Structure 1
Amino acid sequence: MTPARERTLLQAAVALVCIVPFGASLTGILLGAAWLQPAPATDLDSHFRYLSGLFLGMGIAFASCVPGIERKTARFRLLGMMVVLGGLARLWSLVILGPPSTGHAVGLCIELIVVPLLLAWQARVARRLRLPG
């Protein structure tokens, strides 16, 4: 596969994965914690909507990496690290409280499997498309 074709496939994969934070964050902003728990406490709902706003910002930042993805390694790695750290926090919750619902388990897989694979793929594409000096 040519480097340009691989870059296009990576761009498509990242764009596709961005659907998750866009959908989940917008739902969290609009519906608050009631989306997951009937009659949540006010502070929980406030915090949930705040985190949903951060999640939306991360989704937009990831989407901004799609054009010229081979040149956006630092941004892509920073965002990826943020997602993996969130996944590790979610994993800690699984350890101390037990398995989450299916949607959150899917999120955990994206955070600790899909995103690290995308980070490795982006590094490969950036390396393959590096122009000689």
Structure 2
Amino acid sequence: MAGEKSRKALLGTIGALGVIPVASGVAGILGGPERAPGGAATTPSVDSEYRFVNTFWAAAGPVLWWSIRRPEKRAAVTRLVLGTAAAGGLPRLLSAKRAGAPHPVFRAATVLELLVVPLVLAWHASVVQGDSQAWKKLRTPSTTRSTSASVSEGNSGRDSSCS
């Protein structure tokens, strides 16, 4: 039962994490860089790039929500999105070194990306691996029994009631 609680908590956490890119991505698309925390007017090229990149960021949330509907089958998608977000913390560190410390909102985002998201990734791997092993254990004996029984009865895996 503890495993099911952990699984539900994980899926809820991932679902909640999906809200962040949707909200901030849409805000970035509509508001542009001058409406970002600590933002200012910039060149048309930077404005264009900022809004473009936020389109991908906004799409990350729905992809996460889609992936948690079938977490075992879509684990790679969840890990790709979360891993990309975690990797995004590294360019933030580079930016802070070269351009200076960003607004506190973006410092918090860096902490989220470099510390929290990797922890969620590890939690996800643990839960999904445990679930898939438990699922195989539950499925294998019944599948083996029904196949063995059918073969010994001469049905070759067919259900005689459907013939």
Same fold (TM over 0.5): yes
Larger radius of gyration: 2
Query: 2 CA distance for matches of 1:13 and 1:86?
Result: 19
Contact 1:84 1:112 in 2 (8 A): yes
- In structure 2, the residue matched to 1:90 is 92
Alignment TM-score, normalising by the size of structure 1: 0.91
- In structure 1, the residue matched to 2:44 is 42
Contact 2:22 2:59 in 1 (8 A): no
- 2:51 is aligned with 1:77: no
- 2:48 is aligned with 1:16: no
Q: Which runs of 5+ in 2 are unaligned?
A: 141-163
Deviation at 1:65, TM superposition (A): 1.8
Q: Deviations over 1:36-82 (max 9, x none)?
A: 33322111110000011010111221121222223322111211221
Query: 2 CA distance for matches of 1:77 and 1:12?
Result: 16
Q: Which runs of 5+ in 1 are unaligned?
A: none
Counterpart residue type for residue 98 of structure 1: G
Query: 1 CA distance for matches of 2:124 and 2:56?
Result: 23
Query: 1 CA distance for matches of 2:94 and 2:17?
Result: 23
CA RMSD of aligned residues (A): 1.5
Query: 2 CA distance for matches of 1:45 and 1:98?
Result: 20
Query: 1 CA distance for matches of 2:26 and 2:96?
Result: 24
Structure number with greater CO (CA < 8 Å, separation at least 6) is 1
Alignment TM-score, normalising by the size of structure 2: 0.75
Moved over 3 A (4+): none
Percentage of pairs with the same residue: 27
Query: 1 CA distance for matches of 2:97 and 2:49?
Result: 22
